[in-house]
Chain A
Amino acid sequence: MDKKQITGSEALLRTLIAEGVDTIFGYPGGQVIPLYDCLYDYSDRLKHILVRHEQGATHAAQGYARVSGKTGVVLVTSGPGATNTITGIADAMMDSTPIVVISGQVPSPLLGSDAFQEIDVIGITQPITKWAYQIRKPEEIAWAVSRAFYIASTGRPGPVVIDFAKDAQTGHVDYVYEKISHIRSYQPIPETEEESIAAAASLINGAKKPFALVGQGVILSGAEKELLAFLEKADIPAASTVLGLSAMPSDYPLNKGMLGMHGNVGPNRKTNDCDVLIAIGMRFDDRVTGNLQAYARQAKIIHFDIDLSEIGKNVAVDIPVPGDARETLAAVTRLLKPASHTEWIHSFTADEQEEYEKVIAREIHPGGDRRLRMGEVVRKVSDAAGADAVLVTDVGQNQMMGVRYFRYSRTRSVVTSGGLGTMGFGLPAAIGAQEGAPDRTVCLFTGDGGLQMTLQELGTIMQEKLNVKIIVLNNHYLGMVRQWQELFFDKRYSATTMENPDFVAIARAYGIRSRLATTRGELDESIAEMFESDTAYMLVADVETQGMVYPMVPAGAAITHIILEREEVTRN
C-alpha cells in the first residue's frame, strides 16, 4: 500500500474521487476554506457547482441523484451553511434519495463552546438522516467518508451528513483509501424467505382482479424490466405513486396511471375493487391511501419492500415480501402462471373515459378564448420536448399538473418533492437534474410561489450556462392552498394572492431568454423558441388564476371519494 502524508482536506477529496464522485454542489465559507483551497488543485477531476444558497445545493444534489442513480454530493460551511441544508436533507430522507452532505465544523478544541458559526449539526440532523458523523481527526476520513457513501446508496437510500472539523481538514494523515462494503450492524437488503415468494405467487395465481401499485422502490432497485415482465406474465394492471412515475412508460398498455389525491380515477376506484393488491416499493403514504379505514379492505395485500419498518406501518399486509424488488419480482415472476385478465383490465376504460371527459379534455383542450390552463401548457411542452425529456416540478398545483400531463418513455424521468412537499425544490433540482443527465432535455414546471422561494438559483444557471427549460405556471396565487380555500374554507383566500414581479425581466437580468405567453398563439411560439437552442429559457405562462387540479380526493376521505369538477362540490 502506498502510504503518503497528505492533509485531511486532500484525503477527503481523494476519497470522493475513489467513490466515483465527479460533481459537487456547494458554497464555501469560513470553516471549509482549507477544503476549498485543496479543491482548487482537484478542479480537473471534481466539478464544483457554486449555488446561490445552501438549500439549493441539497436540492440540486437530489435532482442529480434522482436522474443519474449516483449519490449527490453537497459541500457547505458550518453554522448557517449547515442549517440551510436541513430542508434538502429532510426531503432526501422522505424521498429515499442518496446524498452525502459534507459540512465544515469549527476546530475540534472549540466544539461545544458556542464558537463562531458553530452549530450542533449531528444533533440537528440525526432525526432526518440515515447516518450522521462528525470527523474530528484526519485518521477517520478514509473510513467515515467511504462509510457515508455505502450507507447513502445501499438498501433504502437516503441522506448522510459528514460534519468535518476544520483541524481535521488541515491536519496530516497517512492516507490509504479503504472501501467500505459491509457494516455488521447494518443489513441493507433484508433476507427473503422462499415461503414469502411462493405465497405471493400463489395468491397472484389465484387472483381474478389483481392490481399492482408501483413505487419509487422499483426505480431505486433498477427493477423496471423485472416489473414489466411480472405484470405481463400475469396480465396485471398497474398504477404508480408520484415518485414511482416513469418506472413504466406512459403509453404502456398495463399502465393505468397515477394513484392518490390527484391521481387517476381508475386506479383509485380499482384499489377498492381489486381482490389482490400488490404494492411494490411504496409506503402507503396518506396522499396515496386516503382514509385507511376505507382502503382496500376487500383485498388481500402483498407488500414488496426493502425497508422492513415500512411493512405493516400504515396498512396491514397479508404477505410481506422483504428484499430487493429486482430480485423478489423476478423470483415471484418465475412462479407465476401466465394469465389473462382482459375483462378486469377493460373495466378501467369506463373510469378513464369519465375522467377524460370531465377533467382531462377540459384541461388540455380548453379551446376558445379562455385563458391558458395549466394542464394544456404542460402537455404542449411535453409533446414538444419529446418523450426522452426529464420532468422536474416544484410543489403544489404546478407539480400535480406536471406529473399528470407530462409523458414519459424512460425511467428516472420525474424529479419532484413527494414526501416532504418542499416548495422551492424545483429550480435547484432542475439544475442538478441537468448536471446528472446532460444529454437529456430538462423541463421544470414551477409556480409563481415556489419559484420565488429559490429564485436566486437563476444565478447558478447563468454561471454554469445550464440548459434548463423553466416553465412558470403563473396564476398569481399560491394555487394549491387557494384551491383548498375554495373547496373547504368558503373561498376565504387568506394570504394566497401574490403580487408578482416581472418574471421575464428577472430572467433577462440573469441573461436567460424569456417570454411571456398569455394566448395560445404566444404559447406555441414561445415553446418553439424554447426548444430552438440548447440554452436556458424561461417561459412565463400567464394561466387562469383560479385553476383547479382535478380529480381530487379530499384529505382524510376514502380513496373512492373523488371530486371531478367544480359543480359537484357546490352541490354537496
Chain B
Amino acid sequence: MNTKQLYTVIIFSENTVGLLNQITIIFTRRQLNIETLSVSPSAIRGVHKFTITTFAEKDMMDKVVKQIDKRVDILKAYYNTDEDLVHQEIALYKVSTGLFMKMNGVEELIRKYNARILEINEDCLVLEKSGHYAETQALFEELSHSIGVLQFIRSGRIAITKSKVERLSDMLSAMERKINM
C-alpha cells in the first residue's frame, strides 16, 4: 500500500518572475503541504534551484513532479527520499546573554552540538547550528528547557544528490548537442 513519507523535490528553473506561484499552485491543487522551501541561484548562471520538502505518497509525488516539470519555464524537476541525499538545514537561536553566562556546561553544549556563537552583546547572543531537522530541534529543546530561547529560526532544507548522475547538466548538454546538430 502507498504510505506517506517525506520527499525532497528539486526543481531547476529559468529565473523568471512568478515561478514560485506556478509551483505552489500544483501543490495546493493536490492538497500537499509544503514543509520547507529554499530557493537560490544554482551553479549554472541564470538557473534557479528550488528545494521543497513535502509528505506525500509516491504515486502522488510522481504525478505532481510531472506536472511541475511540464511548466514552460521549468528546466527539470525530480524528487528523492532522504537516502539519496546529503541534506542540511541551518538554525539560529537567540538567547539571553546573562542566562547563558550563568548556565553550567557551555563548552560541553557547544561541542556536543557543534554550534557556533555569531554575536554577543550585553543583552543577547546568537547561536548557529546546521544539521538535520532532528539535530537543530534537539538544541532548541535543550536551550528552551535550560534558559529559554528568545527567537528561533530554521531555514528550509537544502540538498545535494549522492548519485553519480547530474541530471540537469546532462540534460542541458544533451540539449546543446541537439541544437547544434
Contacts and interface: CB of A to CB of B under 8 A. Distances in A.
Interface residues of A, number: 19
Interface string B43-71: 00000000000000000001100110110
A312 B59 CA distance: 9
A232 interface: no
Given A184-B75, A185-B74, A185-B75, A308 B69 contact: yes
A293 to B, nearest CB: 15
A524 interface: no
B151 interface: no
A interface majority secondary structure = mixed
B86 interface: no
A184 B172 contact: yes
Contacts of A130: 72
Nearest to A183: B72
A312 B18 contact: no
28 contacts: A122-B17, A122-B18, A123-B18, A123-B21, A126-B21, A126-B22, A127-B25, A134-B17, A182-B179, A183-B72, A184-B14, A184-B75, A184-B172, A184-B175, A185-B14, A185-B73, A185-B74, A185-B75, A186-B72, A186-B73, A307-B70, A308-B66, A308-B70, A309-B63, A309-B69, A309-B70, A312-B63, A313-B66
The 8 closest A-B pairs by CB, nearest first: A309-B66, A185-B75, A186-B72, A131-B72, A127-B25, A309-B67, A309-B70, A185-B14
A236 B120 CA distance: 79
A122 B20 CA distance: 13
B13 interface: yes
Interface string B139-181: 0000000000000000000000000000000001001000100
A334 to B, nearest CB: 24
Nearest to A311: B66
A99 B70 CA distance: 18
B179 A126 contact: no
Interface in B1-42: 13-14, 17-18, 21-22, 25, 29
B25 A312 contact: no
A488 B149 CA distance: 60
Interface in A37-88: none
Contacts of A312: 62-63
Contacts of B13: 185
Q: Which of B14, B25, B70, B179 has the largest number of chain A CB atoms within 10 A?
A: B70
A374 interface: no
Contacts of B179: 182
A151 interface: yes
Interface of B: 13-14, 17-18, 21-22, 25, 29, 62-63, 66-67, 69-70, 72-75, 172, 175, 179
Nearest to A156: B70
Contacts of B74: 185
A371 B69 CA distance: 54
A473 to B, nearest CB: 35
Nearest to B74: A185
Nearest to B176: A184
A428 B13 CA distance: 38
Contacts of A151: 72
Contacts of A185: 13-14, 72-75
Contacts of A186: 72-73
A182 B180 CA distance: 12
A126 B29 CA distance: 13
Given A126-B22, A126-B25, A185-B13, A313 B72 contact: no
A132 B74 CA distance: 14
A185 B15 CA distance: 11
A126 B63 contact: no
Contact of A126 (B18, B62, B70): B18
A544 to B, nearest CB: 41
A313 B14 contact: no
A131 B172 CA distance: 22
Interface in A452-470: none
B32 to A, nearest CB: 15
A515 B167 CA distance: 65
Interface string A299-334: 000000001110011000000000000000000000
Interface in A119-143: 122-123, 126-127, 130-132, 134
A127 B63 CA distance: 16
Contacts of B73: 131, 185-186
Contacts of B66: 308-309, 313
Interface string A174-194: 000000001111100000000
Contacts of A134: 17
